[in-house]
Structure 1
Amino acid sequence: MTLDTTPTILIVPGLRDHVAEHWQTLLQQKLPNAASVPPLEHDKLSCAARVAALDAALAKIDGPVILVAHSAGVMITVHWARQHDRKIHGALFATPVDLENPLPDGYPTFDALAENGWHPVPRKPLPFPTIVGASRDDPLARFERVAQMAQDWGSRLVDLGEVGHLNPAAGFGEWPMAQTLIRELA
C-alpha cells in the first residue's frame, strides 16, 4: 500500500479496557499508525455504549482502517458491524469470548450480559475480511465455539494452540503474531 492508503490500526479492547502489559497496549505503542477506542467512564457493561464508543473512534479516522479486537472487543465489533456500514479494510479478532455460555467467576454473569444487550451474538457473515485467532485452552471460550463463530462470520480461523485467553494472566505481554496477521489483512 502507498503511504496515503496505509490503514490505521484501531485497537478494540475487551471489557477490562486498557491493561498496561496487554499485547494490544504494547502493539499500539509500537505502531505509528495505531489508535485505540478509549475506555468508558460510564455504562461500562453496556453493549450499546461500547458500540457507540467504537463508532465515535472510527468517526475520527479518515481512510482505511484495520480493527484489532480482543475478547469482548470482538463482540463489540460484530455488534457494531451489524448496525453500521462504514467500510472496514479488515479485522483481526483474537480469542473472542463466548458470551452465549456462562463465564467463570469474576466475570459478568450471563443474565447481566443479556440485560446489557450482548445477546444474541451476531452470527451473519461480516462485510469485511477477518481473521479469528482461537486458543485451544481459553477459559472464556471453547475452541469449537470460536471455530463456529469464525465460520458464521466468514472469517479465516487461525489455531493459536494453547495460549489461554492471550492476556497477561496467560503469560502474554507482546504477541508478535498480531503484526504478522495484520500485515496479511493490509
Structure 2
Amino acid sequence: MAHYLDLPPHKLAGDPLILIVPGINNSNPRHWQSRWERQREDCARVDLGMWDDPHRNTWVNKLNLAISRAERPVVLVAHSLGCLAVAWWAEYEQPSQGNPVVSALLVAPPDVDRPGTDPRLARFGACPRSPLPFPSFLVASDDDHYCQLRTARMLANDWGSRFVFAGTVGHINAESGLGDWTFGQELLGRLLREHRVEQDRLAPPLLRDAARQSRLAATP
C-alpha cells in the first residue's frame, strides 16, 4: 500500500473528489449513493469488487488505490460495510491529518462484532476503534437491523465522528425510500463548506483573496 506519512499537511490542493464507497452487493440504481453519483460531476464510485463476498484487505487495497489515483483532496461517502473499509483504511495507512482524505460521511455502519452477525460482516471485525484522522459525520437510524442505535453512538465516539440521528429509516438504503436523501446532501454540503473554510484559513493571504474573488465572480 502507498503511505501518506511523508506528505506535509495540506499538500493536496484543489476541489475535493467525492468517492462513493458502497457496502455489500454494491448500491443499486435506486440507492441514494447511485443517485448522487449520477447527479454530481465531482463524484465517483470506488469499484471494490467481490460485492457479494467481500474480502477486507482487498476492499482496503482498492479503496487505497482509488484515493491515491484521485491526486486531489478526497471526501469519502460510505454506506454500511463501506464504512468499515474506510475505518480499516485509516487503521492500516495512518494518513496524516487532512491528507489525502479531508472528511467523510459514514452512513449506517453495521455492528461487525455482534455475535451471530452475517459472516461476511464478521470478516471486518474486530472493528477498529481508533479516532479517524479527518472530520466525519456518522449517521444512524433507530431501527437499523444491522446495528443498534446505542452501538452506533459508541462507534461515533470512538472514531471521533459527529453523531447524526437520521430517524426511523431502516438501514438508510434503497429500501428506506429516501430518494435523493436531501438530509444526507445537507451533511455532505456542510463537510465541503468546512473544507473550504479550512483551506482559506491555511492559504497565504494573496491566494486566499484570489480564491474568494473567484468564488464571488462565479456566484450568479
TM-score, length-scaled by structure 2: 0.75
Aligned to 1:163: 169
Aligned to 1:179: 185
2:23 counterpart of 1:14: yes
Alpha-carbon distance, 1:18 to partner = 3.0
Percentage of pairs with the same residue: 35
2:125 counterpart of 1:135: no
The answer to whether the Cα contact below 8 Å between 2:25 and 2:52 also exists between their aligned partners in 1 is: no
Residues 81-125 of structure 1: CA distance to partner in whole angstroms, max 9, x if unpaired?
Answer: 111124311000011111111467xxx33xx544x4x11100111
The answer for unaligned runs of 5 or more in structure 1 is: none
Aligned to 2:83: 74
Residues 43-96 of structure 1: CA distance to partner in whole angstroms, max 9, x if unpaired?
Answer: 932111111111111122011110000000000100001111243110000111
What secondary structure is seen at the aligned counterpart in 2 of 1:68? Answer: strand
The answer to whether the Cα contact below 8 Å between 1:7 and 1:64 also exists between their aligned partners in 2 is: yes
What secondary structure is seen at the aligned counterpart in 2 of 1:52? Answer: helix
**1:63-142, aligned counterparts within 5 Å?**
63-84=72-93, 85=95, 86-102=99-115, 108-109=118-119, 112-114=120-122, 116=123, 118-142=124-148
Distance 2:51 2:39 in 1: 29
Residues 107-162 of structure 1: CA distance to partner in whole angstroms, max 9, x if unpaired?
Answer: x33xx544x4x111001111000101111111110000000000000010011110
Aligned to 1:51: 60
The answer to whether the Cα contact below 8 Å between 1:43 and 1:49 also exists between their aligned partners in 2 is: no
Structure 1 runs of 4+ aligned residues shifted over 3 Å read 41-44
The answer to whether the Cα contact below 8 Å between 1:99 and 1:121 also exists between their aligned partners in 2 is: yes
The answer to whether the Cα contact below 8 Å between 1:167 and 1:173 also exists between their aligned partners in 2 is: no
Cα-Cα RMSD: 1.8
What secondary structure is seen at the aligned counterpart in 1 of 2:171? Answer: coil
Change in Cα spacing, 1:79 to 1:125, as seen in structure 2 (3 Å) is: same
Distance 1:42 1:181 in 2: 26
Distance 1:42 1:167 in 2: 16
Distance 2:145 2:168 in 1: 11
Distance 1:72 1:103 in 2: 16
Aligned to 1:154: 160
Count of residue pairs the alignment pairs up:
176
TM-score, length-scaled by structure 1: 0.88
Aligned to 1:25: 34
Change in Cα spacing, 1:23 to 1:159, as seen in structure 2 (3 Å) is: same
1:55 maps to a residue whose letter is: N
The answer to whether the Cα contact below 8 Å between 1:131 and 1:157 also exists between their aligned partners in 2 is: yes
Alpha-carbon distance, 1:172 to partner = 2.8
Which structure is higher in helix share? Answer: 2
The answer for unaligned runs of 5 or more in structure 2 is: 1-12, 193-220
